[in-house]
Amino acid sequence: MRITWVSRSLLDYYIPLIARVNERAGGQLTFITSGLWSPPRVLSKLKEVLGGRALILTGEKSIGEDMPLAANVSVCIPYQPGLLKAIGQSRPDVLIGDGFFQWTSFALAHRILHGTGLVVGYERTFHTERNSQWYRTAYRRMVLRYVDAVCCNGSLSVEYTRWLGMSPGRITLGRMAADTDGLSTQAGQVSQSQRQQTRESWESQGLVFLYVGQLIARKGLKEMLDGWSLFEKAQPGQGTLVIVGQGPEEGSLRRQAAELGLRFVRFQGAVDYDQIACAYASADAFAIPTLEDNWSLVVPEAMSCGLPILCSRYIGCWPELIRPGNGWVFDPLDPRDIQRVLQRALESRANLPAMGDRSRQIVRDYSPDHAADALFKACEIAVQRGKNR
């Protein structure tokens, strides 16, 4: 099966999934992406996997704000010269596009012109789309008339996709996956002395609660610090919050921590993806206070490294990944609830390693292999529908 996948940008976690989809396609996957929006290291990895079938285009032009930090706050219309031609030259049996707009619009044009089956990988939920403008919803519903199958992240994404009008028989489940196998292996290779050195570099005391991600407003770190303040005052020295990442909110978050007099919050800056397993392996629990996320791959990343999860209720993955025995769900808009969940973790100190083992067990069902199966099944549905047209 010749599959052509168009995606304007990609990060490291895509690579294992792309490799496995290529295997299922008999080595006939073409992946077309932009040289503008993907890091050079990721583009190099893509070329290692696909060779000449990794097509990296340049010269993109766009109108509007690119890559906004929150959903539905801006409009961007991209134009990539040569994309429609590249799609055609790949002679696809089926097309994959990420989301309904951006580069998927070019795949949609090919679908309309040539009748090639079209799969959309989708991750939005009712929560992330709560402020969606009417014209966005109308556009998605219109596009679905030409989409043959949708591969969703999780059950919350399925609910929203069905509401848009997609038949449940043409939805597969499990599109997104972290590099769970690779991170698990890397975390297992971190020695006890490396863990100790990392924790000492963090100047940590008590349990280490780790956050990894962008320092932007929708990630809920301002709210996390408010809740952490209550916890730290009640349990001084019993825990350290380590924040790994960078972003435009770093200055205001540092000021907030200073104003609240927080002694056990550490800002560590960015850590290269190839080194992140050591950070996960050196923590006791992972905390994600996001106010809006579709799936958030840092959660399965942390789980694959053996961490219990303190998870925001506003994240799309919690129904699948947070279960009794591996973590807790909390409301980051309620400082008392943040304090409660931190206290629960402190009281469960002796059980945290076992909870981390449970995380590893759960996340095995959300591996790149699982995601590739779901995506390939969607491709098979789309190809069959194309034959029936």
Considering the domain architecture, whether residues 159 and 233 belong to the same structural domain is answered as no
Considering the domain architecture, whether residues 165 and 293 belong to the same structural domain is answered as no
Q: How far apart are CA 106 and CA 140, in angstroms?
A: 15
What pLDDT does residue 86 have?
97
Considering the domain architecture, whether residues 122 and 237 belong to the same structural domain is answered as no
Considering the domain architecture, whether residues 338 and 371 belong to the same structural domain is answered as no
How many domains does the chain contain in total?
A: 2
Residue 195, domain CATH:
3.40.50.2000
As a whole number, the mean pLDDT across the chain is 95
Residue type, 371: A
Considering the domain architecture, whether residues 38 and 118 belong to the same structural domain is answered as yes
What pLDDT does residue 64 have?
74
Considering the domain architecture, whether residues 70 and 213 belong to the same structural domain is answered as no
Q: What does the pLDDT look like over 8-26, one tens digit per residue?
A: 999 898 999 999 999 999 9
Mean pLDDT of 112-138: 95
pLDDT(218) > 90: yes
What pLDDT does residue 67 have?
62
Considering the domain architecture, whether residues 82 and 104 belong to the same structural domain is answered as yes
Mean pLDDT of 315-338: 96
What pLDDT does residue 47 have?
97
Q: How far apart are CA 240 and CA 52, in angstroms?
A: 47
Q: How far apart are CA 127 and CA 160, in angstroms?
A: 9
What pLDDT does residue 187 have?
96
Q: What does the pLDDT look like over 219-271, one tens digit per residue?
A: 999 999 999 999 999 999 999 999 999 999 999 999 999 999 999 999 999 99
Q: How far apart are CA 331 and CA 387, in angstroms?
A: 47
pLDDT > 70 in the chain, percent:
98
Q: Tokens 């129904």: give the residue.
A: 319
Could you tell me the residue range of the domain that residue 74 belongs to? 3-177+367-388
Please name every residue paired with 94 in a beta bridge, in sequence order, or none if there are none.
Answer: 3, 117
What pLDDT does residue 274 have?
84
Considering the domain architecture, whether residues 75 and 163 belong to the same structural domain is answered as yes
pLDDT(342) > 90: yes
Residue 59's region, left for phi above 0, alpha for psi from -120 to 50, else beta, is left
Considering the domain architecture, whether residues 211 and 277 belong to the same structural domain is answered as yes
pTM flag (> 0.85): yes
Considering the domain architecture, whether residues 172 and 186 belong to the same structural domain is answered as no
What pLDDT does residue 75 have?
77
Confidence class of residue 66 from pLDDT cuts 50, 70 and 90? low
Higher pLDDT, 70 or 60: 60
Considering the domain architecture, whether residues 127 and 9 belong to the same structural domain is answered as yes
Confidence class of residue 303 from pLDDT cuts 50, 70 and 90? very high
What pLDDT does residue 285 have?
98
pLDDT(51) > 80: yes
Q: Tokens 């905390």: give the residue.
A: 287
Considering the domain architecture, whether residues 173 and 187 belong to the same structural domain is answered as no
First to last CA, the chain: 18
| Residues 309/302, Cβ–Cβ less than 8 Å | yes
Query: Residue 379 in 3-state DSSP?
Result: helix
User: How many C-beta neighbours within 10 Å does residue 316 have?
Assistant: 28
